[in-house]
Structure 1
Amino acid sequence: MRVALYIRVSSEEQARHGLSLQEQRDALIRYAKANKMTVAGIYEDAGISARKPYKKRPALLRLLDDCKAGKVDTILFIKLDRWFRNVAGYYDVQTRLDQYGVTWQATEEDYETRTASGRLKVNIMLSVAQDEADRTSERIKFINDGKRAKGQPAGSKAPLGYIIKGRQYQIDNGTADAARDMFAAYIRLQSVLGVKRYMLETWGIDRAYTKYVNYFRNRLYIGEVYGIENACPALVSKQDFDIVNDILRQRSQRCAGIETDRVYLFSGLLHCKECGKTMQSETAKQIYTYYRCRTRMLDTSACQHKKRIREDALEAYLLHELEGIAERNNRYYKKAEKKPTQSADAIRKKMDKLKTLYLNDLIELDEYKKEYTTLKKSLEAVEEKPKTNLDALRNGLAEYDTYLREEKKEFWTRFIRRIDADDDGAFFVTPR
């Protein structure tokens, strides 16, 4: 008899129960040898849950292909839960095996599909196993919801700059400076790949591209855990976090272009007033830098903005006018503010009391979430609108001539949210 050995383990199960791939393989080989069976192949799905759709289990798919090709008579695995815990998936695969004339057997349990009574027992036990798994999933979800409501980690891993101690996020002194520098580097370089290279060269830290993107979007860095503010120590300022995420959004909306080592001071900041899209940077004669409407570059009939914006002209305008624009913007916000019925501090105290009630099991999770959401909206409505730090702006303008080009780009990004340019050559600046 030709048998296929199927082995599966998730990383969590391997750590908890010792069901390693090697242990399963050895046990199945011994069983096949003792029963004078010929091993036609060994199929291993490592780190994959049995509840995962079988079409996402590569080794199982190869096994089914070999069964269809007539290379296998029986499939062996040590226990039924190595095979399936999902009833629907099991029936789908079993139908195919019936068509191929292939049976299976659990070597360490009394399950088989060669007899009618064996199949009935399997159907009953799979239904029980799925029900137990569903109940476990619900319990885990409830526990994780409770942890999130308390600002506690739901997992075991913390992002760069943090560690988990006593079921709380705490600053990791060994990597905190690197995490702060990571955000500053992105504001300066405005490139995830650039940050990836910089972190490896400067700090010896190597992370995947997507990992850095997830870091930049993780509100844990401003002390927020699952929507709960001040739940842990912040590593970066709210202003820097917002700047980084503004840049991420702008770059994700941009058309793919040719990579260049040249630093464009206003890329991502400068927009066409007519169509609203970011303007494309370009260099003429290796000397002059211009910005043109990206929409019009692709289709001259799609936007009426014909004018090219010279970078040095815009730079000179901002050096002369930005301080006055920021001052007027600050005065406008101050004048427009309405006196709230309750202070931000009062609302925060209510939020703290609400959290205490939940932690002491005096209110249910649903009630906590509902009331917390209401208080958070009230807090957002009364909190002071961000204004430009005029002292920092003046200091930056005074030192601007000493900056490297990368530092000049970082300066404009820190103090300007957006610049709109119309076809008449006028600029409309929105400070941070």
Structure 2
Amino acid sequence: MERMIQKITLPARHKVSKMKRVAAYARVSSGREAPLHSLSAQISHYSGMIQKTPGWQYAGVYADEALSGTKDSRGEFQRLLADCKAGKIDMIIAKSVSRFARNTVTTLRTIRELRLMGVDVFFEEQNIHTMGEDGELLLTLLAAYAEEEARSVSENQKWRIKSNYEQGLPWSVTMYGYRQVDGRLEIVPEEAEILRLAADLYLEGYGRYRLEDAFAAANIKGRHGANLGGNSIVGLLCNEKIVGDMLLQKTFVTDPISKKQRKNNGEKPQYFVEGCHEGILDRETYEKILAERARRADTYKPRSGSYERNRFPFSGKIHCGKCGKSFTRKVLNGNTPYEKRGWLCRTFNQKGKAHCDAKQIPEDILKRLTAEAMGLPEFDEAAFAAKVEEIQVPENGTLVFVFYDGHIVTKTWDNPSRRHSWNPENRKKARELALRQAAERRLAQCQQ
């Protein structure tokens, strides 16, 4: 039978195009009614635009209210970045560069990080796609302009604040016990009673922790529902406003970008206003409290006579995810074969496990994990100070290293058991210590 070959043409397959997952970011800078209406309009506008555009898949609208673009703590903005890192978003739409961020460094750092993830950002007003060839150059120029605009707004605000101070008027006071009404402080009666009770207890001998525990046991809360801290209570009792006076400009903002406040040690003029509002305490009680605080400070000051504290590489950089406090360094079993250096949550160290169950982090493990996070063979103090902004401890056994350039590294660890630490070297040290202590006891008995 003769072989037959027949050419067959298959029907062309239509390639299904992948839907682009698009999200939008919106923000207003004031909590007043009109801007909030504007925010609502932005959310509605972006939701409709994304859902009507062919080839786009709606990935949500992220919106922040009443927060400055110069700060990085915007909750929705941070959630947006987290979803981008999780691979949930391909493109972000924002109204303008100034709505995204007013800080050149923050803007470019975020855009570069998103570009590495393959996430494009489109700014409507400037008609810029950051994944385009000229995107970063244009962004640099626009973000620099936005930063200068923020500085200009800040200077105008400083002028208004200074004008208030010169007239003896506070700018913004949120002190517990008072509310600000039309530029003047008025007493909040129920809060004032709590402060008077605290003053009586302090003069009876209560310290910071005892005051805090007593108020917590009585279920007395602060203005926002949290427990009143001992340091905060004593600070309120020693504040000049509690007797009707005001010292204005105790702190000042260093620059409009970081918004960091700094204690005024003479860099700026201060203004003292006496008897400008009704006091919660009488002056005699107030003076007794100040004298008692000075007496305690003198009684419990260090033997060296100095309050200087040692600073270590990790000081102020490790933060507990359970209670929010920072970690402090502690030496356990000092000058013994079992000496260990570790870092503990301040709440756990001061109040115990009932208030925070964060575990101690051995210093040797902390240094090893920090070196690994930085990609170094061993811990380098200078490199750590320059690169790592903070170390978060969300749960026991987990460390999250946050770098100044914006990237994050997570490390986990296990606390070594006592069985592993009881090695021949430690056994030898323990034996030598026991023999030395026995010899010292026999010598002491002979001398009696």
TM-score band, normalised by the shorter chain? Answer: 0.3 to 0.5
Q: TM-score, normalised by structure 2?
A: 0.46
Q: TM-score, normalised by structure 1?
A: 0.48
Q: Larger relative CO (CA 8 A, sep 6+): 1 or 2?
A: 1
More helix by share: 1
